[in-house]
Amino acid sequence: MSYHVGDLVAEFLAGLGVTTAFGIVSFHNIPILDAIGRRNTIRFIAARGEMGAGHMADAYARVSGELGVVISSTGPGAANTVPGLVEASFASSPVLHITGQTATRFLGQDSGAVHDLPEQTAMLASVCKAVHTPRTADQVFGCLIAAATDARTAPQGPVSVEIPADLQSAPLDRPAELDHLTLILATMVPSEAALDAAAEMLAASQRPLLWLGNGARNAGAQALALLDLGFGAVSSWNGRGIVPEDHPRTIAAMQGNGSPEIEHLYDSVDAMLIVGSHLRGHETLDGTLQLPANRIQVDINPRAKGRNYVSKLFVQGDAELVLAGLHKRLLGRITIDPAFGDDIARARAVASAAYKATLGPYASFPAQLRRAMPRDALWVRDATVAGATWAHRLMPVYGPRDAVHPVGAGIGPGLPFGIGAALAVVNTGRKTVMLAGDGGFAMNMTELWTAVQERVDVCIIVMNDGIYAAIGQIQDAKQEGRRFFSELHGPDLHGLAALAGIWFRRVSRAEDFGMAVAAALAEQGPTMVEVDMRSIGPVPAYGIYSRKPA
């Protein structure tokens, strides 16, 4: 059999160490997937929709730290992948999207060829770091190298490669470079002068605090070294677990958005080192949260400078190198207020207790769930009221790649996230727990059959109240309680689980929640726990939506 472009794609992915890919076989990707099937070195997960496949690849990348790969068809298939690429962009996930394109003789002509979307490249470019479109078979290898390099170069993100349908079957000589395939990834080394200036500011402080975002995900050891010097730490929602959240000097994800105890602590902080974080709206009350005035911002992306908050100093560079350089300069030079550690622990304890008191009948849920889950379990959430309240702020996370949530706050990716995350730790014995509301679960419900077909070891928790609860709460606060269009009629989840042939338990009393999850985690393969919120009680409004309209 002759060597063709499809073989090149399959061998290229395997050469990069890709072991799992996601997508749907279709008219405009058959040569590529045929080659992947013949080589039999990559596990291809046949999703039920391209949106689900995109979210699976994203979660796989976040948990594994490796390239997530999604393969779609052209036109409608590529468009269906866009939601997954959007979320991967929000989360800075290294996702490689391989799709087709109209045959080269029809490119750009709007000829009505099958699946032809004349502006497909522009559509993908609007949500990706880059789009690469080879015009000849000999250009494919270079485009693949460029795309994978783009995706893996910080700030990471999704990148698409469009391979025209006729090129996928085109013969070519096997590139010799496949024998020693390597991506050349640049490391951003911070300037010595910038490190010196930052160290001077920090050395003069007595109560310094680290704010750790996604860009610091690989700098956990360096962050802990600064905590050993006396720093405190707080995590963005996408930076959780960089410092294990049972460390005594971290506020974890309690942050300061609406928590007076933490805001009071911030008032006493005399230097904040913000590392690799957007300081997103959900975490800063849309930029109105008062952060310590003496701020240093660290980011690999120069465009991050002053993005949401103006800082006194900006240090461009890789987070590991910056934090290591600062630790070296501060060792023996910084004197920490001896009361700072106790103040951090007290503020977190008081803030956590106050927050727990707002949760009504669900106040015991985070403690029950944490006891049921192994320490190294993956904690995956959809956008739902539970996900935005106790699941974010009171469920401790212990590893930098142990938590996955929709950074863009979009509803629906929870189940495919759970599948992708679980496949990233397959054969390790680690468990995956996924939390969704009934509305978000319904959006990608068909991916339940992907989980069943692949025997994915994921516990699916569905908080079922028959409404879009978060939207209803916003309507209560903003529209004088007029809850238009937020009621949902869904399937009986017990019957759905029986149809899929998976283990199921319904929880109708709050005190039974942890036991149900523990029983589910004792099983192998996909399981489902439904929380019957109609029996337990309505979820209290969260954040600013707990306030009555004026």
DSSP string over 231-279: -EEEE-TTSTTSS-TT-TTB-TT--STT-HHHHHHHHH-SEEEEES---
Give the angle 15-74-34 at the CA atoms, nearest 5°. Answer: 45
Burial (CB count <10 Å: 0-12, 13-18, 19+), residue 509: exposed
Tell me where in the chain the CATH 3.40.50.1220 domain(s) lie.
192-352
Q: Select the CATH number that applies to the domain covering 5-180 from these four: 3.40.50.970, 3.40.50.1100, 1.20.1560.10, 3.30.230.70.
A: 3.40.50.970
Nearest to 381 by CA among 458, 291, 272: 458
pLDDT for the residue numbered 542:
66
Are 80 and 51 contacting, i.e. CB atoms less than 8 angstroms apart?
yes
The encoded tokens of residue 531 equal 């929380």
* Residue 189: Cβ within 10 Å count: 12
pLDDT (average), residues 292-309 = 94
For helices 50-64 and 76-91, angle between their N-to-C axes, nearest 10 degrees: 30
Question: Where does the pLDDT of residue 110 fall: very low under 50, low under 70, confident under 90, or very high at 90 and above?
Answer: confident
The encoded tokens of residue 419 equal 């599948």
Task: Determine the Cα–Cα distance for residues 121 and 111; give it in Å rounded to an integer.
Answer: 16
Task: Determine the Cα–Cα distance for residues 192 and 188; give it in Å rounded to an integer.
Answer: 12
Kindly report, residue by residue over 311-333, the tens digit of the pLDDT: 999 999 999 999 999 999 999 99
Task: Determine the Cα–Cα distance for residues 135 and 113; give it in Å rounded to an integer.
Answer: 17
Rama region for 456: left / alpha / beta (φ>0; ψ in -120 to 50; rest):
beta
- What is residue 339's three-state secondary structure? coil
Residue-wise over 354-364: b if at least 16 C-beta within 10 A, else e? Answer: ebbebbebbbe
Question: What percent of the chain has a predicted confidence (pLDDT) above 70?
Answer: 97
Query: What is the distance, to the nearest Å, from the Cα of residue 83 to the centroid of all Cα atoms in its chain?
Result: 13
Q: Please report, for residues 173, 296, 437, the alpha-carbon distance to residue 200 in angstroms, rounded to integers and kept in the order given.
A: 57, 11, 48
Kindly report, residue by residue over 497-517, the tens digit of the pLDDT: 999 999 999 999 999 999 999
Question: Where does the pLDDT of residue 113 fall: very low under 50, low under 70, confident under 90, or very high at 90 and above?
Answer: low
pLDDT for the residue numbered 112:
67
Higher pLDDT, 285 or 295: 295
The encoded tokens of residue 409 equal 């706050």
Question: Where does the pLDDT of residue 548 fall: very low under 50, low under 70, confident under 90, or very high at 90 and above?
Answer: very low
pLDDT at position 544 over 50: no
Question: Where does the pLDDT of residue 106 fall: very low under 50, low under 70, confident under 90, or very high at 90 and above?
Answer: low
Are 501 and 521 contacting, i.e. CB atoms less than 8 angstroms apart?
no
pLDDT at position 114 over 70: no
Tell me where in the chain the CATH 3.40.50.970 domain(s) lie.
5-180, 359-546
The encoded tokens of residue 211 equal 């704010």
Kindly report, residue by residue over 402-422, the tens digit of the pLDDT: 999 999 989 999 999 999 999
Q: Select the CATH number that applies to the domain covering 359-546 from these four: 3.40.50.970, 1.10.3720.10, 3.50.50.60, 1.10.760.10.
A: 3.40.50.970
Task: Determine the Cα–Cα distance for residues 410 and 413; give it in Å rounded to an integer.
Answer: 8
pLDDT (average), residues 188-217 = 97
* Residue 339: Cβ within 10 Å count: 12
Task: Determine the Cα–Cα distance for residues 261 and 407; give it in Å rounded to an integer.
Answer: 25
User: Pairing relation of β-strands 458-464 and 503-507?
Assistant: unpaired
pTM of the model: 0.95
pLDDT at position 547 over 60: no
The encoded tokens of residue 407 equal 């950074």
250 strand-pairing partners: 233
Higher pLDDT, 101 or 399: 399
Task: Determine the Cα–Cα distance for residues 263 and 307; give it in Å rounded to an integer.
Answer: 21
The encoded tokens of residue 102 equal 């109209």
The encoded tokens of residue 203 equal 């050395």
Task: Say if residue 155 is preceded by a cis peptide, omega within 30 of 0.
Answer: yes
Rg (CA), the chain: 24
- Which helix (H) or strand (E) covers residue 296, if one does? strand 295-299
Q: Identify residue 163 by its one-letter amino acid code.
A: I
Kindly report, residue by residue over 129-174, the tens digit of the pLDDT: 999 999 999 999 999 999 999 999 999 999 999 999 999 999 999 9
Tokens 């076989």 appear where? 25
Counting every residue, how long is the chain?
Answer: 550
Average confidence score pLDDT of the chain: 93
The encoded tokens of residue 515 equal 């036991």
Q: Select the CATH number that applies to the domain covering 192-352 from these four: 3.40.630.30, 3.40.1280.10, 3.40.50.1220, 3.40.50.300.
A: 3.40.50.1220
The encoded tokens of residue 155 equal 């700030």
